[in-house]
Amino acid sequence: MTKTDSPPPARLNDLVVLIAQSRDARAFELLFGHFAPRIKGYLIRLGTSGAVAEDLAQETMLAVWRKAALFDPARASASTWIFTVARNLRIDLLRHERRPDFDPNDPAFVPGQEPAADALMMRDDEDANLRIALAKLSPEQAEIVQMSFFADKPHSAIAAELGLPLGTVKSRLRLAMVRIRAALGTLP
């Protein structure tokens, strides 16, 4: 059979099945001779350059060799299956080309500067002082501070949950903040 001769579709299906069943090199050679130039022409008509079309045709035929067991002649002809493989490889290539290259200097990928040791020590001291100030609050004030700042609940939700008037919740929170500021030495 020459390159210009086209085997009947049933014969093409049989060749793919032979590759799947016994890794038949002669069947692959016949398929390659038939499909490689047609795939290259198809890809060029889709706008792919000649060299890239040649590479994709090679990759397509390699995929046929590797994945012949996935071919089901009841679902599609060999031509349809092979051209679908080629089309999918072209789509994958286009997606890869459109995806921007990774820039290791992009600020999103550069870790933030570690705080200086003295800043860490100051923050630890401030945290410890805040814990001491919170411990000095009355249990009612501490509970409202915890619900407001740590649980991020609105004042109305705190009032409803504790069964207190909204004004009482706001008063306790205001007095608690005055005591915390005084303990931290941040009163104006």
Cα separation, 167 vs 59, whole angstroms: 74
pLDDT at 38: 95
pLDDT at 43: 92
CATH 3.40.50.1110 fits 118-184, yes or no: no
Cα separation, 152 vs 66, whole angstroms: 58
As assigned by CATH, the class of the 9-98 domain is mainly alpha
Task: Tell me the per-residue pLDDT of 120-172, one tens digit each, with 9 for 90 and over.
Answer: 888 888 888 888 988 999 999 999 999 998 899 999 999 999 999 999 999 99
Q: Is residue 89 classed as helix, strand or coil in its secondary structure?
A: helix
Cβ atoms within 10 Å, residue 79: 15
pLDDT at 80: 93
Average pLDDT per block of 10 residues along the chain, 188 residues long: 61 91 92 93 90 93 93 91 93 82 73 82 87 90 91 93 93 92 76
pLDDT at 115: 80
* Separation in Å, CA 98 to CA 23, 92, 94, 101, 172: 36, 10, 6, 9, 59
What are the structural domain ranges in the chain? 9-98, 118-184
Cα separation, 66 vs 41, whole angstroms: 23
Cα separation, 154 vs 124, whole angstroms: 28
pLDDT at 6: 67
Token pair listed for 11: 């014969």
